Structure 1
Amino acid sequence: MKKYLSIILIVSSIFCCNNQSSKTDQEESTDSMMETLKSTKVQIEALKESGFQIFDYVDEKTQDTVIMQQYFIAFLKKGPVRNQNEVEASKLQEEHLAHLSKMYEMGYADISGPFGDDGDIRGITIYNVPNMKMADSLANADPMVKAGRLVIEIHPWWAAKGYPLR
């Protein structure tokens, strides 16, 4: 008898707890929406406080708030000093890649890469920094730029935060 009574008490307590903690789909959806709005607001305020230029809008299709942020795209172009021998050029390339890796690790650069042709524009780096002055300073700290093998041309560029490349 004690065994049955114990089982009934356990089942009753589980049932009561589940009933008390379960929410309707509508309540869960509302809670989720409020958290998203809160996190979007927090993200917008954090970006503004850090000096980033942003604007936001509501996507008509999804009803999501989209945050647009100004980034800076640096075009790495052939520079005037391209007479380095193979060993010097190889060493500069290693230092260039290390610089770009450092920019990525520090959160200053989001995308970097070379172009697939042999044109004057050799590659790009997209800087995730609050202003042109900082982007210019970071881009010009590249060993390839310092050596004159590359020159930088920077433009402001707007993109939606959180959207991946596909």
Structure 2
Amino acid sequence: MRIIDAPREGWYPDPDGRERLRWWDGLDWTDIRRAPPSTAELTRAEADMVHHAPISQGQQVGQQQYGGYSRQDTQEIIAEVRTVARQELDRAANEFSQRANIAVRSFTPLITEYTSTMLRWVKVALALATLLFIVWLTFQAIASQSLFDWIGDRIDNLTEETLGTELRRGREQL
């Protein structure tokens, strides 16, 4: 609802409870409430309206009016105000949800603010050193096994050669 289309300020039936009147300031409901007008006030208001404003075709002379509007008009105005208020509430809720989603997506954990680049490089260096140490141990194990195998083969060959040479010498001497 546009501001220009809003009802003028005045006393209207309270949307929260029909037994009281509530002040509409032209833009929104206020917290000011009062008892419904007495019969004398209604009679005086009707007399003022008869003298100051022409009666429209659909308006009945005996119909109650508040602030220049009939009960039906005020109910329509209240319904329209409620509709507009709900639309505004929905729009505000959607905007809040969008902003909350953007904030969640752009959130960076606080831990990144407290870790330095140097500390990250130290961690990478330690991980790399650990990996290289494991590779070196594996190489040492394989190399030592190969070395022991080679030494064992050499000993076996030396023994066989030595035995073969001694046997040949012994036969030659015989």
Fold in common (TM above 0.5):
no
Higher gyration radius (CA): 2
Q: TM-score range by the shorter chain?
A: under 0.3
Larger strand fraction of residues? 1
TM-score for both structures, normalised by structure 1: 0.25
For normalisation by structure 2, the TM-score amounts to 0.24
- Structure with the bigger RCO (C-alpha within 8 Å, sep 6+) is 1
